[in-house]
Structure formats: C-alpha cells, structure tokens
C-alpha cells in the first residue's frame, strides 16, 4: 500500500478499500476470494497496529500529565518560598 506524502495511513487505507470495493461492485475489476481475504487481513493488521499506537500514546500522555503535576507542585512550593523570604524581618 502506498501513501501520498502527508496522507494519513488510516485515510489512505480507507480510500484504497473503498476504491477497490467500488471497482468490484461495478464489475470494472472483479475481486476474488484470495484478494478479499488479503484486504481483510491487511486491514485487521493495520487496525491492531493503530490500536497499539493509541494505547502507547495514552500511556505516555498519562506519564506526561503526572510529570507536569509534579512540576506544578514544585512551582507552587518555590513561589511560597520566595513569598516567605520576602516577608522575613531584616
């Protein structure tokens, strides 16, 4: 399967499947069982790959969110420290 530069893999896959099914429906290019099975298998593999990517991204976003929460806590603490230092008698 070939994709145009910048084209989403998912959109390209959908476009290819729709085009191939349209060709088969119109009789322009009949589809046989082997090709249909191959399209199905390829599609399933790509869906699984996308789902795995989605899980990895979700995990990474959760990790990043936690790191940012710690940074916010550090910022708040440092601001309190600076404010307290400014109030100390001289």
Each residue's pLDDT tens digit, 24-53? 999 999 989 999 899 889 889 988 988 999
pLDDT at 26: 93
Report how far apart, in Å, the C-alpha atoms of 54 and of each of 43, 51, 57, 67, 80 are.
Answer: 16, 5, 5, 20, 39
Backbone angles phi, psi at 32, to 5 degrees: -105, 170
Domain ranges of the chain: 9-87
| CB-based contact 3:12 (threshold 8 Å) | yes
Tell me the pTM.
Answer: 0.61
Residues whose CB is less than 8 angstroms from the CB of residue 30 and which lie 6 or more positions away in sequence, other chains included: 24
Structure tokens at 74: 């550090």
């Amino acid at each position: 399967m070939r994709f145009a530069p910048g084209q989403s893999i998912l959109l390209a896959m959908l476009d290819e499947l729709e085009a191939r099914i349209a060709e088969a429906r119109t009789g322009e290019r009949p589809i046989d069982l082997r090709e249909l099975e191959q399209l199905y298998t390829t599609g399933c593999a790509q869906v699984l790959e996308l789902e795995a990517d989605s899980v990895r991204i979700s995990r990474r976003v959760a990790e990043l969110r936690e790191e940012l929460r710690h940074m916010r806590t550090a910022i708040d603490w440092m601001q309190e420290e600076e404010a307290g230092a400014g109030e100390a008698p001289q």
